[in-house]
């Protein structure tokens, strides 16, 4: 059972564009939603995270939008750069599970010149 | 200091052999996680250690998989009688205390079972 569904699988945008990656979850007990960025040959690194008591969080060029009623959240990358080319994973965890993360299947982003 | 380190970085083994994968967490981090990343898939939780508490083994896919953490620091993931479907990247992560803390991942061990 896939508890976090992520789309699209891959995405190509031009430099300066705004890629949007979407995730949907099923378990209403989830209360922590991080996004991880992974470069080839490296482990994932935390990019930004949100809790369901807010609808939006910005950190630099990265924004998470959260819709609790729809059980959806998304990552927006403003003014994307070739250095943003990586695989992005959404994840979720719930209280009482020691932050055990359930991950989406990942989105491979390519930012072209 | 240094981040999470894992060894070996790559491991090729024959079906049926046992393998051991090592993780050195960030110094001072009490929580340690193992995840598995199969080709084109997301990360799958395997096992979690927190201090001296009993580990959460709920993600281990079979009894061929086991892990231990010695002295609250280094952890070893052991896969017995490896199968081809065990081929994946095994990632280790650590966090300060395991409760709503950022998980820092190592570079992973790429396991190929022939």
Q: How far is CA A24 from the centre of its chain?
A: 10
Identify the residue whose tokens are 């991942």.
Answer: B105
Residue predicted with more confidence, B42 or B76: B76
Asked if B61 contacts B72 with a C-beta cutoff of 8 angstroms, the reply is no
Element housing A34 (H / E): strand A30-38
Q: Got the DSSP string for B25-44?
A: PPTT--EEEEEEE-TT--EE
B93/A100 Cβ within 8 A: no
Residues 6+ apart with CB under 8 A from B53: none
DSSP category for residue B84: G
Q: Are A25 and A34 in contact (CB under 8 A)?
A: no
Contact A104 B56 (CB under 8 A): no
Query: In the predicted model, is pLDDT for residue B24 greater than 70?
Result: yes
Percentage of chain B beyond pLDDT 70 is 96
Q: Which of B83, B92, B109, B108 is nearest to B13 (CA)?
A: B83
Pair A64, A57: CB distance under 8 Å? yes
Structure confidence by residue, pLDDT tens digits, B27-37: 989 899 999 99
C-alpha to C-alpha distances, B65 to B61, B71, B109, nearest whole angstrom: 7, 20, 15
A36 interaction partners in chain B (CB closer than 8 Å): 105
Residue B52: pLDDT band by 50, 70, 90 thresholds? confident
Q: A24 pLDDT exceeds 80? A: yes
| Closest residue to B103, CB basis, from A42, A101, A104 | A101
Round to whole Å and give the CA distance between A57 and A65. Answer: 7
Average pLDDT over residues A12-32: 94
**Closest CB to A104 among B42, B45, B48:** B42
A84 — phi, psi (to 5°)? -85, -5
Q: Mapping DSSP to helix (H, G, I), strand (E, B) and coil, where does residue B36 land?
A: strand
pLDDT in tens, A36-93: 999 998 999 999 999 888 999 999 999 999 999 999 999 999 999 999 999 999 999 8
Confidence of residue A95 (pLDDT cuts 50, 70, 90): low
Bigger pLDDT: B52 vs A84: A84
Find residue A4's DSSP bridge partners.
A25
Give the gap in angstroms from C-alpha B34 to the nearest C-alpha of chain A. Answer: 10
The Cα-based distances of A105 to A28, A42, B92, B93 in angstroms read 19, 17, 18, 18
Q: Which helix (H) or strand (E) holds B50?
A: strand B43-50
């Amino acid at each position: 059972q896939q508890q976090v569904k992520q789309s699209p699988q891959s995405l190509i945008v031009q430099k300066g564009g705004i890629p949007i990656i979407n995730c949907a979850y099923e378990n209403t007990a989830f209360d922590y939603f991080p996004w991880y960025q992974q470069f080839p040959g490296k482990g994932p690194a935390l990019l930004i995270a949100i809790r369901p008591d807010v609808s939006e969080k910005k950190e630099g060029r990265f924004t998470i939008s959260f819709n609790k009623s729809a059980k959806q959240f998304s990552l927006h990358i403003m003014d994307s750069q070739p250095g943003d080319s990586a695989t992005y994973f959404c994840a979720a965890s719930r209280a009482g599970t020691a932050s055990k993360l359930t991950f989406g299947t990942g989105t491979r982003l390519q930012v072209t010149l | 200091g240094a981040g999470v380190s894992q060894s070996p970085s790559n491991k090729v083994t024959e079906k049926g052999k046992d393998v051991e994968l090592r993780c050195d967490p960030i110094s001072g981090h009490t929580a340690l996680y193992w995840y598995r990343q199969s080709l084109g898939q997301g990360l799958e939780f395997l096992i979690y250690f927190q201090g001296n508490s009993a580990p959460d083994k709920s993600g281990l896919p079979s009894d061929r998989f086991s892990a231990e953490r010695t002295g609250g620091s280094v952890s070893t993931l052991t896969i017995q009688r490896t199968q081809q479907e065990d081929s994946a990247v095994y990632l280790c992560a650590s966090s300060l205390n395991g409760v709503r803390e950022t998980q820092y991942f190592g570079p992973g061990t790429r396991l190929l079972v022939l």
